[in-house]
Structure 1
Amino acid sequence: MMLDVYSCASGDRRHLGSVSPSEVLEGLQELGVYSILRPDKNSNLYIDDSPIPTESESAFWEWSPGFYSGRVTVEVVSPTSYQPKTYFFDVAPDQKKIDKAQFANYLQDIADYLPDYLLGSEPAKTGLGGKSPLVSLWVAYTRLKANADAYLRGLQMIRERPITRLKYLRDRVNIYQAKKIDAATISGLRSNPALLEALSQRREKTHENSSLVRDTRVNVPFHDPSVDNPPNRLILQQILEVARHAAWLRSQLSNYQSRPSDTETDVRKSLPRRLAFLDRFVRKLRQITTSEPFSIISMQTTRGSGLNAVSANPVYYRSHKLGMEILKKGVSELTFGEMQHLSSTWRIYEAWCFCAIAAGFEKSYPDYQWSLNKQRKYTDCMLEGKKGNTRIRLYDQLVCPSLENANSYGYMSISRERRPDFVIEYETPDTRNFICVDAKYRVSQQGLLDAMSSAHIYQNSLKLDGKPPIACCLVAPHVKNVNVLSQQRYWEEYQVACFAMGDKTDVDILLATVMLKFGQLDEDIN
């Protein structure tokens, strides 16, 4: 079933393209306006699990992506089809701000420096994988949903053909039923001389003589096929761990709270469908664990033999690997192997600005000893460079408390709490100075002029050791519409500016400009 998509940018519907199930439609853009032709009036459309409402008699679904860029999952659910039809839309960033290749470079730079900063809850995804200690709700949910069906199919195959091993047992059976004897059997016969004597007679007389023997049972060994073995125990333990993981996800999503925002997608609309999926998944796992072979497997601790046996069996190995993928934490690199939700485009731009400035400092000042500290109090991340008694610090999202209540770094606001995107601090034995930098994902003249208010607010309200910042500036993808704000004369005269920061060349220029303001543009800069 083809899906027809129309662009409504000019007010009229223009056919953008048709896409088949499992295929990707390109040509869409963040904040664009689109109409999607309904295959029939009983079908429902879901964008990343969020329902797209429409009038019952309308021939189209109307949809507009928010501030995000990447691959979006689109599902059409029809009452006449058992499975939803899945399509993919490739949403590009706003071309007035940055192009697609530029955005891809941003993603790579962030992944190389701080991959956690890519993660978000927007419908758009990109190839992102690996692992790290980070516990992320959306990474966990995405991995579970991506692997759930294949994992359940693998478990069903294990149920149909479980690994069995012969279990060594002993029992007392009638002498006529004994198929095998061993040393223990012979030793037991010594306590029954009458039976031993009967056995010593010729075979045809054994029945006659043994009828006089009161107890004709002997202790014999035998082997019974059993599913209660290390590989099955290992799989069962993993199933229970995956079930606990899914239950934790359900609890987190049930209590998920988000504040409405004009610049971020409200994920609460997707929660009913996601909770229903988790309920079905946990229910299927429960059915599996309460049926054979798993219902008769003991919970003894498995050792290396279980893992070795799993690795040697293709079905067990694939199922166990899928379970490990479901339970894996964090991300560490861009990859083609899995897709993860991204942050909004403006957050991606902010994250890239921080990573680019941080990497630029490390590159420009190689003789400094650099350390990156994440999740510290009052700041999301801090890069610090040391050289003798000199310090350079870069703060990300520094919280400056209100009403002269300084934070642990000495920063405060004389009015309400402020949180500049970045603070660059230069410390010598004699003094500490700082410059505020705010990243703005906007390029229009009016948008940047409005945003300049933050530079003035920081200049007037923020203090470090009782002193204001020596300057404040904005950075934006480009400043073609406000060239005067980027002039050196403007920066020197008013101590505020708006600089272009769209690529690494712009980063080098910004760092040189900032350090010149500190009076430190010297041989230290490469």
Structure 2
Amino acid sequence: MSIIRCIDNQGCSFEVAPETLVSGFMERGTYYFEIIPEARFFVDDEPLKILRHEAFDAWRWEPGFYAGRVVAELVDASGKVTATYHLDVAPDQNKLGEVSFAAMLDELLAFDTRLLLGGEYAQLELGREGRASNPHLEYARLKRYGPVFLSALVEVLRKPLTRLHRQRTLRPAHQLRRIDQQTLRRALQDPAATALLYNLERASANGDVPHFDVPTVFEDLDNPANQALAVVLGEVLRRSRHVITALQKIVDGERDTGARSALAPRLGRRIEFLEGLHCDLRKIQRREPFRSLRQPRISAAGLNAISAHPAYARAYRHGWYVLRPGIDGSRDGERLWISPTWEIYERWCYLQVVRLVKSIYPGLQWRASWHGASLDHIRFTGRDIDTQAEVLLQLRCPAFDQPANNGFSSISGERKPDIVVTVESSVESLFIVMDAKYRVAREWVLDGMESAHLYRDCLRWKGKKPDVSILLVPRAGGAPMLETAAYQKANGVGVAVLSVEQNGLQAVLKPFVRGCPDSASSELPIAATL
């Protein structure tokens, strides 16, 4: 058993054992794993670099902005995985804490699982199938089920299912084992065959070797079970090639912002795995029973035959696991990569704003819509005869010299505020901008206030400036003065604390929104209000 000693940046030492969930890790921390000679250490497919730490050589790992279970692998010199480790990364206790983070995940799952899917190292147990999908999800399933699917196909090749097939062939007399009426009728039409039937010695002396039309039975590989399995094999091959292309496009288009974990360092090993899997599956596709099939197809007869054969059933089942469409919103399923913690906080804040606005305007008919292919752009719209309210996530506000986006624009460059709330009726017109920041320290809160000032000054909605531009943070105390209602009303900017334990939205909106409820009136589970 390859147990690795780990030391954190505080100097605390603990052991990391294979196949057990090891806690003690935290996002944005620094950890040193004592190296094992002749081995490499991968964390979510990214190789860790070796450096000197104190008195020993170590692999250095720095978790980014993510929390959840991370898979690490120890690989020997030949490239074989010798041990797998499961590292439990906790969210920053100064910002969210594990209980608060878990509550946010549950609320996002209850609303839409797509808001959790991402490309970070950390994984969360999500549902098995549904509508949501992306290249990271497809790769995760190829990684988990592809090798099992491959080994099941190898087992199928050893003894494939066959079907007895009858046909008539011409055989010389010395190879005959049985004849039927059709054989006799055909023989009576052939003088040489007739002579042989009446006088075997005379016919043999002539040197002619007549052939007889006889029934033959042989084992045919072109049967419904092999045809159905060939369809799954072909689809898995296409999926692996598609994921390689999709991951490469993500890498080509990604920018180094420091807020997300880069895919590029992990891409090489992932493509190497996919290329190897694709190559092995192609070799199987070129062998019997698959190469001689006239038309791969799925039929009831094929599914019945597969269900009755253990090797075929195993191959078909794991092939389908690879191809399953998306995920649902349950927590009972596979472990898949999720978004960074700051993005999870941002999207959770959006749902809280939606919940509050819906409680302020309970008489409106609400509906949600996604705009474009990106999952970031969500619009909740509520309408009645006199009032229209909207809550938007990641709204695009074009630059001043470009056409406005549904009335939204910027008097400088293009901007994308996290959350925008608008209300339009005969008695009020409201335009509020919010920017969710996963920050608590004074230095970083004040640094984040740049966006609040920028949005207050440059954004326009139908020519109107924002009534207030607010920074949402998970903990109070970073800049207390900015959290006061007097400061926000006087300056049009400020900070509001929004977390599972504390909701400062009501205090911020009350001076601007008619009928804003007290804190106690909005404590409803989010699944009940969205």
Q: Same fold (TM over 0.5)?
A: yes
* Mapped contact 1:397–1:420 kept (Cα < 8 A): yes
**Offset of 1:181 from its aligned partner?**
6.1
**Offset of 1:329 from its aligned partner?**
3.3
Match of 1:247 in 2: 241
Q: How does 1:349-364 map to 2 (within 5 A)?
A: 349-362=345-358
Match of 1:487 in 2: 484
Match of 2:107 in 1: 109
Which of 504, 510, 513 aligns to 2:505? It is 510
* Letter in structure 1 aligned against 2:31: Y
**Offset of 1:211 from its aligned partner?**
8.6
SS of structure 1 residue aligned to 2:32: strand
CA pair 182-481 structure 1, distance change in 2 beyond 3 A: same
CA pair 194-414 structure 1, distance change in 2 beyond 3 A: closer
C-alpha separation in 2, matches of 1:82 and 1:398: 47
**Offset of 1:327 from its aligned partner?**
1.9
SS of structure 2 residue aligned to 1:437: strand
C-alpha separation in 1, matches of 2:510 and 2:369: 22
C-alpha separation in 1, matches of 2:83 and 2:202: 78
| 2:313 corresponds to 1:317 | yes
C-alpha separation in 2, matches of 1:55 and 1:489: 52
Q: Deviations over 1:79-106 (max 9, x none)?
A: 2784332111111000000111211111
CA pair 220-355 structure 1, distance change in 2 beyond 3 A: farther
| 2:152 corresponds to 1:154 | yes
Match of 1:7 in 2: 8
* Mapped contact 1:401–1:411 kept (Cα < 8 A): yes
* Mapped contact 1:114–1:355 kept (Cα < 8 A): no
CA pair 364-426 structure 1, distance change in 2 beyond 3 A: closer
C-alpha separation in 2, matches of 1:190 and 1:153: 55
**Offset of 1:294 from its aligned partner?**
2.0
* Mapped contact 1:380–1:398 kept (Cα < 8 A): yes
Q: How does 1:253-332 map to 2 (within 5 A)?
A: 253-255=247-249, 256-257=251-252, 258-332=254-328
CA pair 404-211 structure 1, distance change in 2 beyond 3 A: closer
CA pair 180-63 structure 1, distance change in 2 beyond 3 A: same
Match of 2:434 in 1: 437
Q: Deviations over 1:290-345 (max 9, x none)?
A: 22222222234442222232233232122112112212232222434311111111
SS of structure 1 residue aligned to 2:399: coil
C-alpha separation in 1, matches of 2:4 and 2:479: 42
C-alpha separation in 1, matches of 2:343 and 2:122: 13
C-alpha separation in 2, matches of 1:110 and 1:180: 73
CA pair 363-314 structure 1, distance change in 2 beyond 3 A: farther
CA pair 355-231 structure 1, distance change in 2 beyond 3 A: farther
SS of structure 2 residue aligned to 1:485: helix
**Offset of 1:127 from its aligned partner?**
0.9
Q: How does 1:151-300 map to 2 (within 5 A)?
A: 151-173=149-171, 219-255=213-249, 256-257=251-252, 258-300=254-296
* Letter in structure 2 aligned against 1:66: G
Which of 514, 518, 529 aligns to 1:519? It is 514
C-alpha separation in 1, matches of 2:345 and 2:152: 41
Q: Deviations over 1:225-245 (max 9, x none)?
A: 122111111212221221122
* Mapped contact 1:142–1:340 kept (Cα < 8 A): yes
C-alpha separation in 1, matches of 2:425 and 2:274: 55
SS of structure 2 residue aligned to 1:299: coil
Q: How large is the Cα RMSD of the aligned pairs? A: 3.2
**Offset of 1:208 from its aligned partner?**
8.3
C-alpha separation in 1, matches of 2:192 and 2:56: 95
Which of 309, 312, 337 aligns to 1:341? It is 337
CA pair 369-20 structure 1, distance change in 2 beyond 3 A: same
* Mapped contact 1:404–1:412 kept (Cα < 8 A): no
CA pair 58-178 structure 1, distance change in 2 beyond 3 A: same
* Letter in structure 2 aligned against 1:87: Y
Q: Deviations over 1:188-215 (max 9, x none)?
A: 578679989999xxxxx99689999999
**Offset of 1:366 from its aligned partner?**
5.0
Match of 1:142 in 2: 140
C-alpha separation in 2, matches of 1:134 and 1:514: 34
* Mapped contact 1:411–1:462 kept (Cα < 8 A): yes
* Mapped contact 1:458–1:472 kept (Cα < 8 A): yes
SS of structure 2 residue aligned to 1:170: strand
* Mapped contact 2:26–2:91 kept (Cα < 8 A): yes
CA pair 4-331 structure 1, distance change in 2 beyond 3 A: same
C-alpha separation in 2, matches of 1:337 and 1:133: 15
* Mapped contact 1:93–1:345 kept (Cα < 8 A): yes
Which of 70, 94, 97 aligns to 1:96? It is 94
CA pair 504-234 structure 1, distance change in 2 beyond 3 A: farther
CA pair 456-183 structure 1, distance change in 2 beyond 3 A: farther
Question: Could you tell me the percent identity over the aligned residues?
Answer: 29
Which of 419, 422, 434 aligns to 2:416? It is 419
C-alpha separation in 2, matches of 1:126 and 1:412: 37
Deviates more, 1:307-316 or 1:509-518: 509-518
Match of 1:457 in 2: 454
Match of 1:448 in 2: 445
* Letter in structure 1 aligned against 2:342: W
SS of structure 2 residue aligned to 1:517: coil
CA pair 360-127 structure 1, distance change in 2 beyond 3 A: farther
CA pair 410-377 structure 1, distance change in 2 beyond 3 A: farther
- TM-score, normalisation: structure 1: 0.88
* Mapped contact 1:405–1:413 kept (Cα < 8 A): no
* Letter in structure 1 aligned against 2:424: E
SS of structure 2 residue aligned to 1:295: coil
Deviates more, 1:379-388 or 1:485-494: 485-494
Match of 1:32 in 2: 29
SS of structure 1 residue aligned to 2:105: helix
**Offset of 1:172 from its aligned partner?**
3.9
CA pair 55-176 structure 1, distance change in 2 beyond 3 A: same
SS of structure 2 residue aligned to 1:356: helix
- TM-score, normalisation: structure 2: 0.87
* Mapped contact 2:388–2:425 kept (Cα < 8 A): yes
Match of 2:527 in 1: none
C-alpha separation in 1, matches of 2:501 and 2:403: 34
Match of 2:526 in 1: none
Match of 2:525 in 1: none
Match of 1:202 in 2: none
Match of 1:408 in 2: 405
